A and B are shown apart, each in its own frame.
Chain A
Amino acid sequence: MPTITGAAANIVQPAAPVVLTISAASNDSTTLDTATWNAWNQIYTITQRYTNTTATTANMHALQTELNALVNTWTAWNITYSAATTMTITSATTVGNLQVWDNWNDVYVVEAADRENQIRRDILSGKRPSAEQQEKWRQEEIARKDAEAKRLREELTAKDKAIVLLKSCLTPQQIEEYEQKKCFHLHVGGKVYRIEQGSHGNVKLVDKDGKVKRSFCVQPRGVPEGDVLLAQKLLLETDEKRFYELANVTEFGAQGEHLRTLHAPRGADLLREVQQKTAG
């Protein structure tokens, strides 16, 4: 008796109902998207229903009928949306769902579609996937999970290394501040700057009450966040003028309202203004 194994078990199952809004070129396309997503859920549910059960000829036939009824939707999806669709997820609780969608695109479309087709052929021919094939699928899945785990480990390592390097250049007070508030203060040229967690607009010139007077957007690209903060600190401390030249600088009013943004290298004008006022 044929049994469905392998691919169905490898398909990533949404952990919760997925809310997707897909902006498409026309109403027809949007409708198709909705149908596609519904079809995905149905296909999965149907496949799951037959997973790990010893199938009879009758229920295999029923499964194939159901799958055939849905396959046109998937074909249309792949043809229509392989390059043209912009997907946005609007639900506030869809971080996990976004991952599901990524997994779907990465795993299912590329790999599992082949597996599903193979299963269909096997069902129709009454053939069960060979032990070698099942083992191959299992090894592929293990390799995929290992690669993902390795990627996560490396990402964590890079972030950790950057934090260690950053802290090695901070005073004990700055370290304490960073650990408690995720920011630290610098005193440069009689001014106080606050460097906050983040990478864009995260350097702030603050007054004695901590109110933000300016924010600066300048950073090295492609390094972990801790390295970004350290680079900003070093540049600011050793060459304030250059820091202003390199940054996009936004000025804020007394009530925190946006006054103006000067794009690099015009930020240096601000520093000159301050220095002239101080000298005057």
Chain B
Amino acid sequence: MTMQTNTDSPKPKYTGEMAVMGKEGDTKHMWDKTKPVEVNRARELFDGFIKDGYTAFSVAGEKGDKDKQVRTFDPNAERLIFVPPVQAG
């Protein structure tokens, strides 16, 4: 069985993106808010990272004035950045 590619096919669409920091750099997870399966998967990931002690930031706006910490998943969010637990020293 061969896999065929069609150059006319639309690119995968997504409306939201999570960037999760890690030792290899960040890992991206995308979702399309119009697709319940993708939203549910993104919500599971979000809850899992929060449970593991990550801090989630919703990032919007160039100056950082619209950035905020979030504790619950919003499918309408466009960009989230997850920071591993921080500590002094």
| Chain A contact residues, CB within 8 Å of chain B | 154, 157-162, 165, 169, 171, 186, 200, 217-224, 227, 230-231, 233-235, 237-239, 246-248, 263-264
In the bound complex, do residue A224 and residue B83 qualify as a contact, i.e. CB atoms below 8 Å apart? no
CA distance A16 to B22 in the complex (A): 38
Task: List 19 contacting pairs A-B, 8 Å CB cutoff, sorted by A.
Answer: A157-B25, A158-B24, A159-B25, A161-B26, A162-B21, A165-B25, A169-B67, A217-B88, A221-B84, A224-B25, A235-B83, A237-B64, A237-B65, A238-B67, A238-B68, A238-B69, A246-B86, A263-B88, A264-B87
In the bound complex, do residue B87 and residue A246 qualify as a contact, i.e. CB atoms below 8 Å apart? yes
Q: Output the residue of B19, B59, B64 with the most chain A CB within 10 A.
A: B64
Size bin of chain B's contact surface: 20 to 34
Given contacts A171-B62, A217-B88, A221-B87, 6 further A-B contacts (CB under 8 A): A217-B89, A219-B86, A222-B23, A227-B21, A227-B25, A237-B64
Contact A158 B57, CB 8 Å, known A200-B89, A237-B64, A237-B67? no
Q: Min CB distance, B24 to chain A, in Å?
A: 5
Contact A171 B83, CB 8 Å, known A158-B25, A217-B88, A248-B89? no
Contact residues of B between 56 and 89, Cβ < 8 Å to A? 57, 59, 62-65, 67-69, 81, 83-89
Q: Min CB distance, A190 to chain B, in Å?
A: 14
CA distance A239 to B25 in the complex (A): 24
CA distance A154 to B22 in the complex (A): 13
Q: Which residues does chain B contribute within 8 Å of A161, judged by CB atoms? A: 24-26
In the bound complex, do residue B83 and residue A234 qualify as a contact, i.e. CB atoms below 8 Å apart? yes
Q: Which residues does chain A contribute within 8 Å of B19, judged by CB atoms? A: 165
CA distance A161 to B26 in the complex (A): 7
